[in-house]
Amino acid sequence: MIVSMKRGASREEIDHVCRRIEQFGYRVHSINGAERVVIGAVGRGDLTQAIEQLESAAGVETVVPISQPFKLVSREIQPARSVIRVNGCRIGGGDFTVIAGPCSVESEEQILATAHAVQAAGGRILRGGAFKPRTSPYDFQGLEVEGLRLLRKAKECTGLAIITEVISDSDLEMVAEYADIIQVGARNMQNYALLKAAGRLDKPVMLKRGFASTMKELLLSAEYIASTGNQRVILCERGIRTFETYTRNTLDLAAVPALQELTHLPVLVDPSHGTGRRSLIPAMARAAVACGADGLMIEVHPCPENAVSDGPQSLDLEGFARMMRELEPYIALWKQQREAENASAADAACRQ
């Protein structure tokens, strides 16, 4: 439920309401709005009784239940977009964020060449898998810790932030020492032990949609991370499995505005896994900007033909630079739209 305090409610009144919420069996997630304190309460308790009694507590303006099953990540509890700051980049805010890099970290030469090219073309965050969740146990499984060291070196050389995937909760703390953002991949979207462990981290987490998962399931997985204590979650649409076989997955771009109606979390798009085909990536990247995504994740490799994983869906360095140049007018429009949206939200807050 969402408890909105009256404007000017005292600290004692707020503390009292928080204690009462806990007595009803809920956990308090206090959100201090600019105008008034809004307290989010989640958990399992006697909702009807809690609402009735909290409504009559001193300093309370309204108490409303949250209708969605996902609570902390819902737009109901927080209408304004979440902005996740990473290395000077405002993901979900006024920056369109491009994450790029190879599917797998393969060698120092490969990751450094890619990192320099990503940075020169305007990418802000370097991706690279060190622990790879491969469908076949005979496929390359990643360089593991050596891959993490190479990512760190690429960060030192370029200043790019690092995102890398973690596939087991036992590796999480170690990976978090190297990564600025932890990636939970499609195959692990419903690995609840991993989600809870990611919820205990003080690091942003990018959660990819499972290829057979609904938006509601994705949001409930994000809720696992948020309700364990980590609100810095970024969602990523990376395509779902359909009857189509020409593309590797079907990139569900309608999920972008749909998720943004339901959640305040940023939503990125990965057209590389979403299509599986290099030729389709620039067009789907433009479409992702146009439908209001908060950013992109793109696979890039200096020589896709030699890539140990996902070569057919990787852009080469020049292809990535070209795509970034072609995106510029679209991103300029995107920024205008975000600014207009922020200005009208500020107007509405003033009128309240």
Contact set with Mn ion (CB under 5 A): 103, 310
Q: Does 185 bind ligand PEP (CB under 6 A)?
A: yes
Total binding residues toward ligand PEP, as defined by CB under 6 A: 9
Tell me the residue number closest to Mn ion, measured at CB. 103
What is the phi/psi pair of residue 47, to 5°? -65, -45
Cβ(20)–Cβ(54) under 8 Å?
yes
User: In this structure, what is the dihedral angle of CA atoms 218, 220, 224, 229, given to the nearest 10 degrees?
Assistant: 100
> Is the CB of 40 or the CB of 302 nearer to ligand PEP?
302
Q: Looking at 109-117, 180-188, 197-205, 312-320, which segment touches ligand PEP (CB under 6 A)? A: 180-188
Among 71, 248, 264, 273, the residue binding ligand PEP under the rule CB under 6 A is 273
Distance CA(279)–CA(75), nearest Å, equals 36
CB closest to ligand PEP, residue no: 185
- Please choose, from the candidates 269, 234, 335, 254, the residue with its C-alpha nearest in 3D space to the C-alpha of residue 98: 269
DSSP state of 86: E
Nearer to Mn ion, 195 or 298 (CB): 298
- 15's CB contacts (< 8 A; 6+ apart) are none
Binder of residue 185, out of Mn ion, ligand PEP, none (CB less than 5 to 8 A by kind): ligand PEP
Instruction: Calculate the alpha carbon distances from 141 to 308, 341, 352 in Å.
Output: 10, 43, 54
Which residue in 60, 103, 117, 194 binds ligand PEP (CB under 6 A)?
103
| Cβ-proximal residues to 229 (8 Å cutoff; 6+ apart), any chain | 199, 200
Nearer to ligand PEP, 232 or 238 (CB): 238
What is the nearest approach in angstroms of ligand PEP to the Cβ of residue 210? Answer: 8
208 binds, among Mn ion, ligand PEP, none (CB under 5 to 8 A by kind): ligand PEP
Q: Does 271 bind ligand PEP (CB under 6 A)?
A: no
Counting contacts by CB under 6 A, is residue 186 touching ligand PEP?
Answer: yes
> In whole angstroms, how close is the CB of 183 to Mn ion at the nearest point?
11
Three-class DSSP labels, 109-178: HHHHHHHHHHHHHCCCEEECECCCCCCCCCCCCCCCHHHHHHHHHHHHHHCCEEEEECCCHHHHHHHHHH
122 Cβ contact list (under 8 Å, min separation 6)? 98, 324
Instruction: Closer to ligand PEP by CB, 9 or 186: give it.
Output: 186
- Our finding on whether 129 is near ligand PEP (CB under 6 A) is yes
Q: Least separation, in Å, of the C-beta of 273 and Mn ion?
A: 6
Strands (E), the chain: 2-5, 26-32, 37-43, 60-64, 84-86, 89-91, 97-101, 125-127, 161-165, 181-184, 205-208, 233-237, 267-269, 295-299
CB closer to ligand PEP out of 40 and 274: 274
CB of 89 to ligand PEP, least distance (A): 19
Contacts of residue 145, defined as CB under 8 A and 6 or more positions apart, other chains included, come to 130, 174
What does the per-residue mask of binding to ligand PEP show for 53-92, with x meaning CB under 6 A? Answer: ----------------------------------------
Q: Does 248 bind ligand PEP (CB under 6 A)?
A: no
Among 238, 248, 264, 338, binds ligand PEP (CB under 6 A): 238
> Site residues (CB under 6 A) for ligand PEP?
103, 129, 133, 185-187, 208, 238, 273
